[in-house]
Structure formats: structure tokens, C-alpha cells
A and B are shown apart, each in its own frame.
Chain A
Amino acid sequence: MNNVANNLPEEKIGWSREQMAQRTALDIPNGAYVNLGIGIPELVARFVPEGREVIYHTENGLLGMGPVAEDGGEPELINAGKKRISAVPGAAYFHHADSFSMIRGGHLDICVLGAMQVAENGDLANWSTGAPGSIPAVGGAMDLVAGVKTIYVITQHVTKKGYPKLMEHCTFPLTGVGVVSRIYTDLAVIDVTPEGFKVVELAPGVDFDYVQQRTGATLQAPDS
């Protein structure tokens, strides 16, 4: 199932990056403390539905992270992706041991991060391809998946070359075992359940078979 690359058309349908982030934001409840990973997860902060107050954590030492600084920002106020950001009123700065106490100590409600691969049992791989000559870089991912109550993944459904990222077993080195709850891709929202991947919602114009063909594990259909 891992070589769908060569015989499927390359048309672009489904959700955009912004729409994936917007769909994820719908599932973040009022009052949640949330860590956003690098990449598409960073966009989630833009789409908090009106009437909800959410506190964003960035593991380099800030609770109350605001949007990317529009005035160019300052070099000593950055997020985990080293982008210059702002801090909201009521923000707090702290050192790394405190920051990871929040993470490992179970104080954060949700973490949204990217993935190279997710397995049907919730295993996540997102730090190394394991290829010779590649530079492994783990950052805070292993601490986040070990300590945060709910782990959401935002990712394109397949790799740039068209290979599935959702599979029976991860082939890359793991970040965590059985840690992912829900996956938001450009094609669907998919839950990790004791019975494997279950489609919760399909992107407009995308049908179940289309998603199944691009997935390296058996999908369960959404409840009708």
C-alpha cells in the first residue's frame, strides 16, 4: 500500500493549509492551554472561534503567545520556530525547566504538531527519517507527546512524492508510542481509535475511497 505515488492523478482537492488550521481550531475549547508546533500548527492561533479564550504556550518559555510580530518584532521574543512573535496581556515568561514542567506535568490540555508518519495505533514519527547523513533534531516533540493530555496532528495526507503518511506501522524512528488522538489532513479529519483510523469528516469534494486509496492502513467509514 505504500506506492500509490505512480498511478494516481495529482489534482489538488481538499482543504488548504489555512482551512486545516481553521478546522483544528474548532476543536479547541474555551479556556484551553495549548501548545502549537512549528509549521501549519502555528496557523491555528489565527482561527480561534469568537467567544473563546485560549492560552498558547511556546516551549521556549512563554505562556500567552500572541501572533507573529507585525512591526518586525524583537530578537529576544521568539517562538519555538524562532520566529519573532508578540506576547498578549497577561503573558508570563519562564525558564525551560518550568516550561517542560508544564508539558510533562500534564498541565497543558492540547498540543497540535506536525508529522512525518502516524500509525493506526497512534504512534507518531516526526523527528528523523533515520537516513544516513540526515541530522536528527528532536526538540520538544518527545516531551510534548509524553506529557500533554491530547495530541492533535495537522499534516498533508500524503508526502510531496505522494506516499501515505498514515500507515499501519511507522517506518521512521518514533517520537512517541500510541500518542495521537486525532489527525487533520487536507483530505479528512481522522480519529485514532482502538480499532484503528476512523474518518470523522471528509473535506468538501473528497470521498471516502479517495482518502482510503491514499492511506497506508484500513480506514473505517464515518458514522452515517
Chain B
Amino acid sequence: MINKQITSPAEAVKDIFEGATVMIGGFGEAGSPIELIHALIDQGTRNLTVVNNNTGSGHVGLAALIENRQVSKMICSFPRTANSLVFPELYRADEIELELVPQGTLAERIRAGGAGIPAFYTPSSVGTPLADGKEVRQFNGQDYVMEHGLTADFALIKCRQADRLGNLVFNKTARNFAPIMAMAGRKTIAQTRAIVPVGAIDPECVVTPGIFVNGIVEIPDPLHESLLVAEERSYP
């Protein structure tokens, strides 16, 4: 019998190794797998390259992972937000590397990576500093920039429902990067609010088919990042 259930977040992240590339789902707090991130902080694995749209907020979740000096490089589109305190400080001190990618290019790089496409051409960023040093090619008289597909050693994502086969259903705008990161991660771990019996999810409504998922961890009542930030909590 296939059973992808893993008993704890600690067990779920135990294979993540020093120097690994880790995709972490979420757009701000929506979809951020905060329990998995905290388990990675407990584990202390360093020198990670992290792919996420942002850089976290306050001193919990992704921001805490960065603050704990476990991330050497961020690949993201929007590294500053109102409560983003940790990353700007380390970036200005030249203690963390940033690869800034337009949001749609980031999404397509992840999708392409997961789909076995090594590179593609996009109109985004043509004529801007973010196209510097990249191949530009004309199609139908228009310039396009070549961008590379992106894969990762691990993807950590969050969903609403999963079955033991790894079929996933998401919640509202928390879906964001999770389905494409699930495809691009060589090992994808999803934390889910609920594990349901096989067959309980209508096959027409499965968003991420189980083939893209290696492990699921049930976290029925996940922490709310914005609440922790408002309470000025920090992790650990």
C-alpha cells in the first residue's frame, strides 16, 4: 500500500541537507508551511538557497529561518514588505545573496523546471536591468528574454486536504506557488489541515495529483503568521 503520510514535521524535513535548494510555498503568509519551516529551524540545516515570492515577515516562519542564518541565497520577486525586517538588514550588510526575479518569470521558471523544460523566452523584463546579461531573441519582431527553468532538491508546501496518495486540494489564494513547486521539487512535502480517505476527493477537483508529492504531514490547526507577527513573537 502506498502511504505518504509522515508522522511529524521533524521527520518530514530530516533529509534536507546543507547547501540544498528549497522551494517554500506561500505568498506572504497565505500558503506558508510554517510548521515545516519551524522544523527546519529546529534542525538547523545551513547554507540553503530558498525560493519564495517574499522573504517572510516579523521573526517567525521564513523570516526566522533567514534570521537564524540558515539561508545563504534568496530567489524571490518581492523581498520587502511592511513587516519584512530580517532580510533587508542582512542584505544591506551583504550577508545574504538575492536573485530578484519578476513574479511571473519566477512562476514560469518553476513551472518549466517541474515540466522538464530547461529554458524559455518571455517578454517580461525586456529593456530593464533584470534582463542584463541574458540572451535576447526576436520572435515575430518582438524581443524576448531567455530564462532558465528552476528545480529544487525539496519543496515545502501547505494545503487544505490530502489523501495518503498525495492528492492535494488547496485553500483560496493560499494555493499560489504550491502546485508548481510540487512539480519542481525532487522531494515535495505538503503540510495539510486534514488527511482524508482515498476516494474522498473528487478526481475532478484534485489540484495537485499525488505523483508530484512525496510526503504529507497532518497539521490540523496551523499557526497564523500574521497573528504571531502582531504579537511580536519570534521563533525559536
Contact = CB atoms under 8 A, between A and B. Distances in A.
B59 interface: no
Interface string A107-144: 00000000000000000000000000101111111110
Interface string A165-178: 00000000111110
B179 A95 contact: yes
B77 interface: yes
A93 B124 contact: no
Interface residues of B, number: 50
B162 interface: no
Of the listed residues A79, A94, A143, the one surrounded by the most CB atoms of chain B closer than 10 A to its CB is A143
Contacts of B179: 95, 97
Interface in B157-180: 170-180
Of the listed residues B101, B106, B180, the one surrounded by the most CB atoms of chain A closer than 10 A to its CB is B106
B130 A142 contact: yes
A5 interface: no
A97 B172 contact: no
Given A137-B78, A139-B78, A95 B177 contact: yes
B80 A135 contact: yes
Contacts of B108: 97, 100, 104
B127 A143 contact: no
Interface residues of A, number: 39
A96 B176 contact: yes
Given A137-B78, A142-B128, A173-B129, A97 B103 contact: no
Contact of B111 (A60, A79, A97, A139): A97
Contact of B28 (A61, A78, A96, A177): A78
B88 A61 contact: no
Given A62-B173, A87-B172, A104-B104, A140 B180 contact: no
A104 B123 contact: yes
Contacts of B123: 104, 146-147
Contact of B176 (A61, A103, A136): A61
B79 interface: yes
Contact of B104 (A74, A76, A103): A103
Nearest to B180: A97
B215 to A, nearest CB: 20
B107 interface: yes
Interface in B1-32: 27-31
Contact of A138 (B27, B88, B103, B175): B103
A58 B27 CA distance: 12
A99 B110 CA distance: 13
A77 interface: yes
A142 to B, nearest CB: 4
A133 B91 CA distance: 8
B175 A94 contact: yes
Given A62-B173, A138-B78, A143-B124, A96 B103 contact: yes
A135 B103 contact: no
A144 B129 CA distance: 17
Contacts of B102: 138-143
A200 B127 CA distance: 28
Of the listed residues B91, B130, B207, B225, the one surrounded by the most CB atoms of chain A closer than 10 A to its CB is B130
A96 B177 contact: yes
Interface in B69-103: 77-81, 87-88, 91-92, 98, 100-103
B226 A135 contact: no
A93 B104 contact: no
A96 B127 CA distance: 24
A61 B173 contact: yes
17 contacts: A60-B173, A74-B172, A75-B224, A78-B27, A82-B28, A95-B177, A95-B180, A97-B111, A99-B107, A104-B108, A135-B79, A135-B88, A137-B78, A137-B79, A142-B102, A142-B124, A146-B122
Interface of A: 58-62, 74-79, 82, 87, 93-97, 99-100, 103-104, 133, 135-143, 146-147, 173-177
